[in-house]
Every structure is written in C-alpha cells, then in structure tokens.
Amino acid sequence: MLVRDVMTAPVLSVTPTTPLKEVARLLVERRISGVPVADEAGRVVGIVSEADFLLRERGARPDRRGARRPLNWLFGEEGGAAEQARISATTAGEAMTRPAISIAADCSLREAAGLMVEKRVNRLPVLDDDRLVGIVTRSDLVGAFVRPDEELASMIADEVVRDTMWIEPGQVSVSVSEGVVHLSGTVDRRSTARILSKLAAQVDGVLRVETDDLHWDLDDRNMAAAPERDVPETTAASLRARERPRTTG
C-alpha cells in the first residue's frame, strides 16, 4: 500500500502570510495538530504545528524571577535570532518549522512510518512533482493495521502469490486470522517458500506469517552454484577465425 492510498486529500494548507491567530483557529476548528505552509506555486515551505505554538507560548513567558525565559538554557543566554523571531511571530511564515519533512505520494507506508520515527514528527506533507497533494499522519498509518482479514488474504493471494511470485492459483492457499497469515500448499523450492513468506510479511496490516503447512519439492538450501567454465580470453585472431572459418578440401 502506498502513501497516496491513505493520505488525506485535498489537504488544508496556509500561506506564509496567514496570520498566526488564523492558523490557531484552523487547528482548533479542524481538530488537527499541524498544517503545511505552501507558497503560491503549491510548494511546501514549512509546517506549523502545536509544537510551534508551545515554543512561542513558553518563550514569551518569563520565569518567576523575570530574568530569563525558560528556553534560554537551550538557545543560549539571549536565544538565537531565528528562535527569537519565531517566539515573536505573528504569521505562519515566521512561526513555521522549516524545512518541512515531506514524502512522495508513491512511497510505501513503511517508508512513511520509518521517516516519522527517524525525524520524530507526527505528520508528513505528501508531494507529487513537488506539489502538495495531501497529508499523512501517524493515525493514518495505524489505520492500515485494522484492515479486514479477508482483504489481507485477497491482497496476498492476488498481488504476492499470483502477480509477484507467478504461482498457479490453488497451489498455495492463503488465510488470515487477526492479522496472522497462514500459508499452505507446495512450491517448487525451499527458497521460493522463504521469499513468499517475506513478501507476505511486508504487506501493511500483516502481523506475522505462519508457514508450518507450506512445503517444497526441492530443498535448495545447501545447493552450490554451478562452477564457472574456464573460457579463454578472446583475441583478435580468434575473432577473425570466427568471421572467416577455414575451408577444407
């Protein structure tokens, strides 16, 4: 499954000149935690999230002594100029986090999940030819794991067993129970069974693959590759001999 299959589209976005109060109103009314910031050409230039509002709110308040702001320990005694600008921001462009971490529409959900974990973000603007076409959130990815067992079984049987592995229908049976896939039948080689299991496990929503009832005709686990023949190096003379074979008689 691809990102485009689960993303929210069309996506709500704001411009760099959108007042920050308007952004806050949109987050509250739409019950979302962040919104992409896009320029007039539809290119994503940043993102405003709840964290940006927390930064502004926390940075704007002095501590009980009124001498230092709570974020000074992180940004230095006076804070960096960029962070100070964000703290005093009045527009989306001034408050946004940049650059926005984004993902292509044709990426897999596993790639999206890995990027969210690596970058510690909760949402990713989705791009198609560098244009904003949607947004995918962690909840969208979680939703992929609640797909019906029947849908998972049909997808594995059609897209993995038949279309990818080219295994004849009926040769391998697929059943799914609570996200656990059971493969049964007989394939040509042990390596084929292993590849089939790995591909089935990569389908979004699959928790585990059971192969106790999947058998094979040939155990190629310890089969050595055929040795390479010693072929003499091709020379100019040998090439001429092939082009003009000798005549007899």
**Band (189; pLDDT cuts 50, 70, 90):** very high
Q: Which residues contact 135 (CB under 8 A, 6 or more apart)?
A: 7, 8, 9, 11, 36, 123, 124, 125, 126
In terms of domains, do 151 and 127 share one?
no
Residue 248 lies in a domain: no
In terms of domains, do 136 and 157 share one?
no
Give the mean model confidence (pLDDT) for residues 211-239: 71
Tens of pLDDT, residues 209-223: 999 999 999 998 887
The pLDDT, as a whole number, for residue 50 is 82
In terms of domains, do 130 and 166 share one?
no
**Band (166; pLDDT cuts 50, 70, 90):** very high
CATH number at residue 117: 3.10.580.10
- Please give the Cα distance from 160 to 109 (Å, whole number): 17
In terms of domains, do 110 and 25 share one?
yes
The pLDDT, as a whole number, for residue 142 is 82
Domain total for the chain?
Answer: 2
In terms of domains, do 18 and 80 share one?
yes
Distances (CA, A) of 43 to 17, 20, 58, 125, 175: 15, 20, 30, 10, 44
**Band (231; pLDDT cuts 50, 70, 90):** low
- Averaged pLDDT of the chain: 80
In terms of domains, do 135 and 189 share one?
no
In terms of domains, do 15 and 117 share one?
yes
Look at 61-75, 130-144, 191-205 and tell me which has the smallest mean pLDDT. 61-75
- pLDDT for 146 beyond 90: no
Which candidate, 5, 47, 6, 40, places its Cα nearest to that of 26? 47
The pLDDT, as a whole number, for residue 89 is 76
In terms of domains, do 60 and 178 share one?
no
Residue 138 lies in a domain: yes
Which candidate, 140, 134, 131, 137, places its Cα nearest to that of 116? 137
In terms of domains, do 41 and 120 share one?
yes
Residue 102 lies in a domain: yes
Q: Which of 81, 114, 144 is the last residue of a domain?
A: 144
**Band (68; pLDDT cuts 50, 70, 90):** very low
The pLDDT, as a whole number, for residue 74 is 42
Structural domain range at position 22: 3-144
In terms of domains, do 94 and 158 share one?
no
- pLDDT for 91 beyond 70: yes
The pLDDT, as a whole number, for residue 224 is 63
